[in-house]
Amino acid sequence: MKINVIGVPLNLGCDRNGVERAPNHLRERGLMRLIRENGHRAFDLGNLYVPPVSEEDKYALSHTMKYLDQIVEVNNNLAELVYDTLRGGAFPLVIGGDHSLGLGSASGVGKCYEDFGIIWLDAHGDINTNETSPSGNIHGMPLSALMGMGSEALVNVYAPGNKVNPQNVFLVGTRSLDEGELELIEREQLSVYTMDLIRSEGIDFVAADIRKKLKERKIRNVHFSIDVDSIDPDYAPGTGTCVPEGLIPAEFMSFVEDMLSTNLVKSMDLVELNPDLDHGDKTTTLCLDIIGAITKHL
């Protein structure tokens, strides 16, 4: 398989330094070699340009969303690059950076495939809007925007309107949801697999239920977006928004491999590794293991 690696050194969505270093940090530790060793033709497309902006200007365009203009620009460019990659017959592997980039990568997928779904593996829902977000950090808003909810500036990234049917969205590993997110989940009847459910029913139950729904809803293409904070911080401390009692690595790997076995996954994100917060490269090593498992099963 031809895999295009796209680095997005974006930290504006989380408003915290360090996460922007992740793409180069993983490259320096053998990212491209690892992919090629698994038998793929891998091409490093480099890092997307992230416009410089001062902290004093974070609310220049909006009182409720930080760095809006710059994040929209990066996501528009990412969407085009992901779309071009798919149209060229390659697999886009997007390395972040913070999870606000998921808006751009999934928007590029949505232009290529109308019948697509999103699996969002994350400790958080990322379905706040500009009206419900307690922080103003856009990395907590991309998935709601992809479903057509919230700020028009985010909803209309790359193309006007929603990019994905809410019924084709699957949230997995969630254990930290804000009040506005809980209301949206109930209103839209989203498929959400919390850690409480995973602990009671098991990760295999979750994978089987998602596979069943993918078939029932005739979803033929999937964008798989992975936040490393879905993993318990005892195993992955190097991320900016740790939440206790997450997935253990064996559960995580089992789920990822199960989703890849459907042969529906056409693009992926790996986000929120912050090398500045890592302890002895513990999370970095785990991220490389994740990429190894992904590329072994593609």
Sheet with 116-121, side-by-side order of all strands:
41-47, 2-8, 91-96, 265-271, 221-227, 116-121, 169-174, 191-194
- Angle of helix 203-216 relative to helix 249-260, nearest 10 degrees, comes to 20
> Active-site residues: which are they?
99, 122, 124, 126, 139, 227, 229, 272
Q: How far apart are CA 101 and CA 85, in angstroms?
A: 16
d(CA 135, CA 85): 34
- The three-state secondary structure class of 42 is strand
Calculate the CA dihedral of residues 142, 144, 149, 154 and round it to 10 degrees. Answer: 0
Strands in the chain per DSSP E: 2-8, 41-47, 91-96, 116-121, 169-174, 191-194, 221-227, 265-271
For residue 238, what is the DSSP state? -
DSSP state string for 1-24:
-EEEEEEE---TTTT-TTGGGHHH
CB 4 within 8 A of CB 45: yes
What six digits make up the tokens of 172? 């997995």
Contact residues for 148 (Cβ-Cβ < 8 A; gap 6+): 155, 161, 162, 163
φ and ψ of 9, to 5 deg: -80, 65
